[in-house]
Amino acid sequence: MDRSDLVKESFVKKEVPAWTPTGKTSDYFGELVFDRKKMCKYLDAVSLHALLDCIEGGKPLDRETADGVARGMKEWAIEHGVTHVTHWFQPLTDGTAEKHDSLIDYDGKGGVIETFDGKMLAQQEPDASSFPSGGIRATFEARGYTAWDPTSPVFILDDTLCIPTVFISYTGEALDYKTPLKKALKAVSDAAVPICRYFDPDVKKVYSYLGWEQEYFLVDEGLYAARPDLMITGRTLFGHNSSKNQQLDDHYFAAIPPRVAAFMRDLEFAGHRLGIPIKTRHNEVAPNQFELAPIYGETNLSNDQNQLVMNLMNRIARKHGFVVLLHEKPFDGVNGSGKHNNWSLGTDKGTQLLAPGKDAKGNLQFVTFFVNVLAAVQKHNALLKATIASATNAHRLGANEAPPAIVSAFLGRTMTQVLRKLLEVPSDTPIEIAGKKGKSVGLVEIPEIFVDNTDRNRTSPFAFTGNRFEFRAVGSCANCAGAMTTLNAAVAEQLISFKDAVEAELAKGKETNVAIMDALKPIIKSVIDVVCFDGNGYTEAWKKEAVRRGLDIETNVPKMFCEFTKPASVEMFTKTGVYTEKELLARNEVKWETYVKKVQIESRVMVRMAINHIIPAATAYKAALLKELSLAKEIYGNLDTCTTELRILDIINKRVEEVGTKALAMKEARKAANAIEDEYERALAYHEIAESLYDLRKPIDKLEEVVDNKLWPLPKYRELLFIS
């Protein structure tokens, strides 16, 4: 089938079956999750209470309880047709890992029975040698183990009971995303509780909340399959711009195309049955780009749900003849995809710590947390950027679309004014809700509803949006845990040192509110001068200004990873108990290795496609033109009527030559890079190769512009982006 047939076929698939109602969402929400309701129904009283102690109080789960819990789970699972079980974990790769075991065992009477006990629930030993470990586990010591994370409920996917687990080496190092995230969540709670107690002595726990917004592209599966670059690297390595892209702003929030809507409904239905509170769906800025967002939840669970959603998207898209692209930059020239991480803190008593309070006390608590978050982001701005850096996100980073490669914070007019005012007034000035005391000069006021709540600065990587911060730099295919671990840990570190500062002020005999404000003032001064920036993050002027302020402007991804092992980061991570230095070193090895492999794969695919797809198409057209020219010469005796053909031939000759030489050079560059022993140095060499991919792309896109449309073998941007 040639390209035009393929295009026609994928266009016709637009016909979608009529929608059939699923009934009320609340009737099936969470039906495939072993949640509290099922625990109460399927567990005996002793197991239930022990499990709740474990979930809420962090008590370890003993074998007997695990057996009791497993018994109840097995009964529930079998009622749902489950035949298999797996530990479901998040190694340092893209996506999750699972190894299914059937529930059968010999019954001793010549048959089999279903078994599932506490041991199978609590721990498994997958052969871990083939997961990235950065040398923590030499291959002869292939044993790592997975252990149940009872704070994330067990769920059913098709015939399989999935048990969310951490993944750890036998020597205790984390080999996954979940383990450090859980440690960071504990650290931020431990550090925040004493601060909360200045305001409410009964606070026992502080939760970190995450609301992710998942952006993605959909492309027709037939067209996708005809693009080896998309299939293998997740993005198009070449493709000339479509004449119409996103310049008319007609895709954002536009009517959802029927086939896409059918996909979204299926996805939401599956997600809701799995207890994922999917809330929002809409068209995004770029053609064929969409977004899905749930109601925010506790960070660990919300992150698991994001991992699960990405998995569901892949499966369900295929049922609708689509492939979902989670890559940050599948298409050049249109927006890429991110995953805004909306993040906040709240107490076990329901107080939102990053939202204005009900009174002056509540407001002081809000400002306290607000300012300390800014301080943490300021101190670790380079590290936070490193948490979102990857070979794939690099194409968004600093490339004139969110996010700029400088981590600053956007506060909005209101909060900037509040902070400035606080520096001017005496430390015992109450922070009022605007309007409560009438308008008066001298008061520090916060409006009850933020006027500029929607005063969104789309260029800021870390923006305050009224009751939370939005970390916008996270990549669409990333595991949010990478960024969330560091953010929560950095805030924990900051709160620990803030507590010391407050205690020092209290020791001078000050009232609590005055002591807190006196401890806050130098921090406010510093964050206003350094990390807070409400201007346009894309300008050259901001880059210069950021350097002056001491913010990091590095754009080289392998270099960014070095931030993880700098003394300030090691101190922060070890103090909060999130990573040991050994883990940080090992993880950087993994990061560099992954970076190298991803660029290596892209470069290979690109060179092979240049040789196997592009040059043959260009030379076939060249041969046709030459034939025409020789005919013209024969008939007219000259080429006077062929100036256009001659010009095109000229372009083809030049560009083909360029493609050939650059492809060869790239191969040589790879050879040289592969010979480098040191992981970091090799990654630096591959960074150069990543940059040169753009160089090889240019002549190819120029060829696409002139070569006969019928001869061009690869689906074009105008087809990939506009057929849905």
List interacting residues with ligand ADP (CB under 6 A). Answer: 209, 211, 213, 280, 293-296, 342-344, 352, 467-468
Q: How far is the CB of 213 from ligand ADP (least distance, A)?
A: 5
Distance CA 299, CA 312 (A): 20
Q: How far is the CB of 80 from ligand ADP (least distance, A)?
A: 28
DSSP state of 15: -
- The residue whose Cβ lies closest to Mg ion is 340
Contact 99, 126 (CB under 8 A): yes
Q: How far is the CB of 363 from Mg ion (least distance, A)?
A: 25
Q: How far is the CB of 291 from ligand ADP (least distance, A)?
A: 7
- What string of DSSP letters covers 411-466? -HHHHHHHHHHHHHS-TT--EEETTTT-S-TT-EEE-SS-GGGG---TT-SEEE-S
Judged by beta carbon, residue 396 or residue 687, the one nearer Mg ion is 396
**x-or-dash string of contact with Mg ion, 336-365, rule CB under 5 A:** ----x-------------------------
Residue 131, both tokens:
């997961």
Out of ligand ADP, Mg ion, none, what residue 556 binds, judged by CB under 5 to 8 A for its kind, is none
Q: How far is the CB of 354 from ligand ADP (least distance, A)?
A: 7
Q: Give Cβ neighbours of residue 329 (< 8 Å, ≥ 6 apart).
A: 235, 336, 337, 392, 395, 396, 399
Judged by beta carbon, residue 273 or residue 340, the one nearer Mg ion is 340
Q: How far is the CB of 356 from ligand ADP (least distance, A)?
A: 12
Of 297, 214, 299, nearest in space to 484 by CA: 299
Map the footprint of Mg ion across residues 303-342, applying CB under 5 A: 340
Judged by beta carbon, residue 329 or residue 340, the one nearer Mg ion is 340
Judged by beta carbon, residue 214 or residue 305, the one nearer Mg ion is 214
Q: What is the 3-state secondary structure (H, E, C) of 114-142?
A: ECCCHHHHHEECCEHHHCCCCCCCCCCCC
Q: How far is the CB of 527 from ligand ADP (least distance, A)?
A: 21
Distance CA 380, CA 395 (A): 22
Q: How far is the CB of 329 from Mg ion (least distance, A)?
A: 19
Determine if 84 is a binding residue for Mg ion (CB under 5 A).
no
- Cα–Cα distance list, 192 to 197, 296, 354, 368 (Å): 9, 20, 12, 11
Out of Mg ion, ligand ADP, none, what residue 512 binds, judged by CB under 5 to 8 A for its kind, is none
Judged by beta carbon, residue 282 or residue 421, the one nearer Mg ion is 282
Judged by beta carbon, residue 171 or residue 280, the one nearer ligand ADP is 280
Of 75, 15, 3, nearest in space to 44 by CA: 75
Q: How far is the CB of 470 from ligand ADP (least distance, A)?
A: 6
Judged by beta carbon, residue 297 or residue 398, the one nearer ligand ADP is 297
Map the footprint of Mg ion across residues 408-437, applying CB under 5 A: none
Of 573, 563, 567, 565, nearest in space to 493 by CA: 573
Pairing of strands 289-294, 278-283: antiparallel
Judged by beta carbon, residue 259 or residue 339, the one nearer ligand ADP is 339
Out of Mg ion, ligand ADP, none, what residue 293 binds, judged by CB under 5 to 8 A for its kind, is ligand ADP
Q: Please report, as a single letter, which amino acid is at residue 408.
A: S
Distance CA 559, CA 684 (A): 8
Judged by beta carbon, residue 231 or residue 254, the one nearer ligand ADP is 254
Out of ligand ADP, Mg ion, none, what residue 280 binds, judged by CB under 5 to 8 A for its kind, is ligand ADP
Distance CA 444, CA 356 (A): 13
- The residue whose Cβ lies closest to ligand ADP is 211
Q: Give Cβ neighbours of residue 491 (< 8 Å, ≥ 6 apart).
A: 188, 191, 192, 345, 372, 373, 376
Out of ligand ADP, Mg ion, none, what residue 229 binds, judged by CB under 5 to 8 A for its kind, is none
Out of ligand ADP, Mg ion, none, what residue 294 binds, judged by CB under 5 to 8 A for its kind, is ligand ADP
Judged by beta carbon, residue 343 or residue 533, the one nearer ligand ADP is 343
Q: Please report, as a single letter, which amino acid is at residue 417.
A: Q
Q: How far is the CB of 460 from ligand ADP (least distance, A)?
A: 12
Distance CA 443, CA 233 (A): 57
Contact 268, 314 (CB under 8 A): no
Footprint on this chain of Mg ion (rule: CB under 5 A):
340
